[in-house]
Structure 1
Amino acid sequence: MPSLLLWVPMTHRFTRIHPYSIASSQGQAVAHPKNFRISHKTTIRHLTLPLFSGVVPSKASFSMHSILVNHFLCGAWYPKGGAGEIAFHTIPVIRKTGGNVLGKAPVQRILLDPQGKACGVSVKKGQDLVNIFAPIIISDAGIFNTYERLLPAEARALPEIQSQLRMVTHGEGGFTVFVGLNGSREELGLEPTNYFMYPGNDLDEIMNRYLASSREEAAKNIPLLFVTCPSSKDPTWEMRHPGKSTLAIVSFAKYEWFEEWKDKQVNKRGDDYEELKKTFVDAIMQAVFKLYPRIEDRIEYISGGTPVTNQHYIASPKGEMYGTDHNIPRLQAEAIATVRAQTPVPNLYLTGQDLCLCGFMGALQGAFICASAILKRNLYVDVARLKKRTQATNSKKKD
């Protein structure tokens, strides 16, 4: 059906979102100021475009940007006890249904049977490889890792897989700073707020200038900072860690600036690497001190993570934060219809943010799409019915 709609083409007859998926967020903010009920186009760009998902406004789909802005307009949540609680409460559900969760057991390859169907995975346990067999294999490793690293060469060469790989590109690498502070939220003036900090209003210009910099000059041109205080968002934090606080700061960095150290052992990459990393950390913290001046003399721990750090800890091929680049071509109807949960390898499915959109909520939607494909039922309908029943139950309780 998706291929038929593309061939006709009739997409515009079934959804009003299609024209906006092929338009840039920057262009729409300028072209349709009345859509936002704000008269000045510059104001619109300044208010809405900083909330972007790893793609500069001129290359970002307006539909994607609208989903992101709407997500924040509707409010946000933070798990009590921190992000680790998500895994803590998910693992028992997996085990209750007969599954298991393995730590420190990186997947080395996807196993195929003689007919070319996925039948298991090979994981590393110490220095040994252990084969685990299953009727269905679901990969959340990302499309590049799944197709280019985990599949054997004969499956990787399938024309359908090569077609999918041609439709996606790597996202930008990330640079992260983690800060431990001596002092409570009140003492340090910290807020349960996400800040997007920019040195100017032209996001495309400052981002392009940064990415065109040499690695020696890059730290002077950092284009943006996402600053968040996880400890301030968690209502249980002060009970568990009295008098302590944390900050996390995220920005971009080119993988190529740090690529020469990719094969070096973590924490043993040498003085040149540490010195380069420090220039980024120092530049970032100088900006953060302007936002939270009381923290400057209260830092107990600080650590910077580069794209090769991401490559080591979360297996990002190029140190990406958001997996594939979620630009306008990625959100075209043809790309969406081609990169699906069902892969060209029977019994192998994709899930996560590369399947849908980036970020936590995007990865969650990817999981819904993948589970729907495996179960051959629309789980969104199930969720809508569950919501309706829950609302009815809550309404009766109030009465």
Structure 2
Amino acid sequence: MSGKQLARNEYDLILIGSGMGALTVASLMSQLRNKRVLVLERHFKAGGFTHDFKRKQFHWDVGLHYVGEMESGSQMRGIFDLVTANHVQWNKMPEPFEKFVYPEFSFNVYGDEKRYIADLIKLFPQEKSSIRQYFRDVKKAAGALINDSMAKSSSLPVKLLGSAGKLWNRFPLNLTVKDYLDKHFQDPTLKALLVSQWGDYGLPPSICAFVQHATIVQHYLSGGYYPVGGAGEIAASVTKIVEKSGGKFLLNREVTEVLIEDGSAVGVRVRKLNAQNVNTKNVNTKDNLDIASSSAKEEYYAPVIVSNVGAANTYLKLIPRDYPIPFRDSLQRFIKQYSPTTNLTVYLGFSEDPRKLGFKGENHWIYSSIDHEKIYEHRGSWINDNAKPLNVYLSFPSLKDPKAENHTAEIIVDSDYEPFVQWKNQPWLHRDDTYQQLKQRLMDRLIDFVDKYYPGFADTIIYKELSTPLTNEHFTAHHQGAIYGLPAVCDRFDPQNSAWTTPKTPLPGLYLTGSDVCSSGIVGAMMGGVFTLSDIPGGISFPEVFASAAKSKSK
């Protein structure tokens, strides 16, 4: 390799993947350390699950449907504004921002904790003291998860702070949601109501760790927010920041291996994907986002490499098998035992404003019963059995975004991966007629499900498209199309498994970031980035991140 080529392929920092964790690390290392950063993304759009897309006149988000803690003055908003250099504005969703819909009743959730508690007590007065205790425990449990993440840091100040927090807050990490609810509540309807947001972490009460459930509940106590202009604004803002410091985003680049020399990670080997089958009319090629046009091998080098593609991909695919990872086998057993959360999404375009049907922009969690365990077990069988789905999540991007020009919705439901395995090796956009026919049937059944609750809904649809777990897998390479990283079951938080999700990996020079380092969701992945920043050489400490956020706000 010539000196000119070597210089071109060397960076201060390489990010594998461009999800929220990677965007956080890339942005802050560019802004606060003036590092030349390379972000490698296998998709033809940057942003991971924060990216968005268009079909004809319609526009949808992919993974960001709403975000909590974005109220002005909150710490999370301050960090987010720092990451995006204040280029992303947030629109507060109308109140109520959530609606839990069951056959016999509906319950509205407002972004006001006191009102949430009062509304629950009004319905279940006999459980008044337990309801109040629940919200106190939610905060303790969410804090316990953050303390656990901090205690795994290799940064001594962060580690000490997290360890001290664990001594003060001893909320158990191995308590399931079901065990907590059964201990504190009597009414089965109230128990079901309290877990109505379980689609935000993708697990039923019997196996989900209460700390994960609590983190989601606390996250939305002040309501939901949506990025003005769509979720794609996040990656677009970070791209400008990275390029200003001499860095680059390269798209259609799949990292196939971490390069190791003398026992340390020194670079990555990349497969440049062929994008000739991509519909480039729907691809934003601005801001020097490189669109690949041929298949080729490339290598890039940096003293620090950060993986945002999850613990499973990092340890089981990217690090060569002959490099000793002490927990590789236990991690492999874990992902075989616990199926990752994946989903089906129907993207809809409307002929008229859905507000005519009474929608205001709130999310609708629609359930056919209060038996969430049964609903979870049914997530795969209805696909092959020509049965009806038992639940959906209904979201309206166009009613959340004041810049939206045409009206859209998304119907989302958890799914098994298994029903789609037979088409795994067929190429995206070119899978056979049987697959296309199945997708059509699934779309029709999901739309019919919603239409039964909201008559007239189906009549306004003029565009529809469905993505499956294979779509998720194609663009992310996540195991079985996982959307939330490692499942948040109690085993994930067992002390003997803590090494899976620490920012500093057993391979010197390689670090982990994103939701696996902290928790699921956009803000969880962002905080994963903040944890990683405190661990990497020449990184940014916790206090500096928060101080920089406060300074940026004052400006």
Match of 1:201 among 370, 378, 393: 370
User: 1:262 is matched with which residue?
Assistant: 424
CA distance in structure 1 between the aligned counterparts of 2:299 and 2:379, rounded to whole angstroms? 45
CA distance in structure 1 between the aligned counterparts of 2:511 and 2:166, rounded to whole angstroms? 30
Work out whether 1:78 is the aligned partner of 2:232: no
User: 1:44 is matched with which residue?
Assistant: 190
The range that moved more, 80-89 or 244-253, is: 244-253
User: What is the letter of the counterpart of residue 99 of structure 1?
Assistant: G
SS at structure 2 position matched to 1:54 = coil
> How is 1:207-356 mapped onto 2 (pairs within 5 angstroms)?
207-211=376-380, 213=381, 215-217=383-385, 220-237=387-404, 241=405, 244-356=406-518
SS at structure 2 position matched to 1:201 = coil
User: 2:543 is matched with which residue?
Assistant: 381
Match of 1:143 among 298, 311, 324: 311
Work out whether 1:103 is the aligned partner of 2:271: no
Classify 1:13/1:96 alpha carbon distance in 2 versus 1 (closer, same or farther; 3 Å): closer
Task: Confirm or deny: 8 A CA contact 1:108 1:122 kept in the other structure.
Answer: yes
User: 1:123 is matched with which residue?
Assistant: 270
SS at structure 2 position matched to 1:46 = helix
SS at structure 1 position matched to 2:402 = coil
CA distance in structure 2 between the aligned counterparts of 1:136 and 1:321, rounded to whole angstroms? 26
Task: Confirm or deny: 8 A CA contact 1:210 1:221 kept in the other structure.
Answer: no
SS at structure 1 position matched to 2:344 = strand
CA distance in structure 1 between the aligned counterparts of 2:479 and 2:545, rounded to whole angstroms? 34
Higher RCO (C-alpha under 8 Å, 6+ residues apart): 2
TM-score for the superposition, normalised by structure 2: 0.62
CA distance in structure 1 between the aligned counterparts of 2:383 and 2:453, rounded to whole angstroms? 26
Task: Confirm or deny: 8 A CA contact 1:175 1:304 kept in the other structure.
Answer: yes
> How is 1:162-173 mapped onto 2 (pairs within 5 angstroms)?
162-167=329-334, 169-173=338-342
Task: Confirm or deny: 8 A CA contact 1:29 1:44 kept in the other structure.
Answer: no
Cα displacement string for residues 170-197 of structure 1 (whole angstroms, at most 9, x for unaligned residues): 4132111111122234445433211111
User: 2:177 is matched with which residue?
Assistant: 25
Classify 1:383/1:32 alpha carbon distance in 2 versus 1 (closer, same or farther; 3 Å): farther
Task: Confirm or deny: 8 A CA contact 2:271 2:298 kept in the other structure.
Answer: yes
User: What is the letter of the counterpart of residue 268 of structure 2?
Assistant: V
CA distance in structure 1 between the aligned counterparts of 2:484 and 2:497, rounded to whole angstroms? 17
CA distance in structure 2 between the aligned counterparts of 1:186 and 1:44, rounded to whole angstroms? 30
User: What is the letter of the counterpart of residue 202 of structure 1?
Assistant: D
Unaligned runs of 5+ in 2: 1-150, 154-162, 273-293
- Indicate the structure with greater helix content: 1
Number of equivalent positions: 371
Task: Confirm or deny: 8 A CA contact 2:388 2:445 kept in the other structure.
Answer: no
Classify 1:377/1:310 alpha carbon distance in 2 versus 1 (closer, same or farther; 3 Å): closer
The range that moved more, 349-358 or 337-346, is: 337-346
Shift of 1:28: 1.3
SS at structure 2 position matched to 1:283 = helix
Shift of 1:336: 3.1
Classify 1:96/1:15 alpha carbon distance in 2 versus 1 (closer, same or farther; 3 Å): farther
- Computed over aligned residues only, the root mean square deviation of the Cα atoms, in angstroms, reads 2.7
User: What is the letter of the counterpart of residue 22 of structure 1?
Assistant: N
Task: Confirm or deny: 8 A CA contact 1:225 1:251 kept in the other structure.
Answer: yes
Shift of 1:91: 0.9
Shift of 1:314: 2.1
SS at structure 2 position matched to 1:57 = coil
Percent identical among aligned pairs is: 30
CA distance in structure 1 between the aligned counterparts of 2:537 and 2:263, rounded to whole angstroms? 22
Classify 1:223/1:296 alpha carbon distance in 2 versus 1 (closer, same or farther; 3 Å): closer
CA distance in structure 1 between the aligned counterparts of 2:547 and 2:300, rounded to whole angstroms? 36
SS at structure 2 position matched to 1:154 = coil
Task: Confirm or deny: 8 A CA contact 1:11 1:18 kept in the other structure.
Answer: no
Cα displacement string for residues 88-131 of structure 1 (whole angstroms, at most 9, x for unaligned residues): 11111222233211122222222222x13111112233221111
Classify 1:388/1:17 alpha carbon distance in 2 versus 1 (closer, same or farther; 3 Å): farther
Classify 1:388/1:105 alpha carbon distance in 2 versus 1 (closer, same or farther; 3 Å): closer
Task: Confirm or deny: 8 A CA contact 1:26 1:49 kept in the other structure.
Answer: no
SS at structure 2 position matched to 1:73 = coil
The range that moved more, 227-236 or 368-377, is: 368-377
Shift of 1:41: 3.3
Shift of 1:225: 1.2
CA distance in structure 1 between the aligned counterparts of 2:196 and 2:494, rounded to whole angstroms? 23
User: What is the letter of the counterpart of residue 167 of structure 2?
Assistant: F
CA distance in structure 2 between the aligned counterparts of 1:147 and 1:262, rounded to whole angstroms? 22
CA distance in structure 2 between the aligned counterparts of 1:245 and 1:292, rounded to whole angstroms? 17
SS at structure 2 position matched to 1:267 = coil
CA distance in structure 2 between the aligned counterparts of 1:167 and 1:49, rounded to whole angstroms? 24
CA distance in structure 2 between the aligned counterparts of 1:235 and 1:108, rounded to whole angstroms? 40
CA distance in structure 2 between the aligned counterparts of 1:363 and 1:73, rounded to whole angstroms? 19
SS at structure 2 position matched to 1:179 = strand
Work out whether 1:16 is the aligned partner of 2:169: yes
Shift of 1:209: 3.8
User: 2:210 is matched with which residue?
Assistant: 62
CA distance in structure 2 between the aligned counterparts of 1:198 and 1:73, rounded to whole angstroms? 22
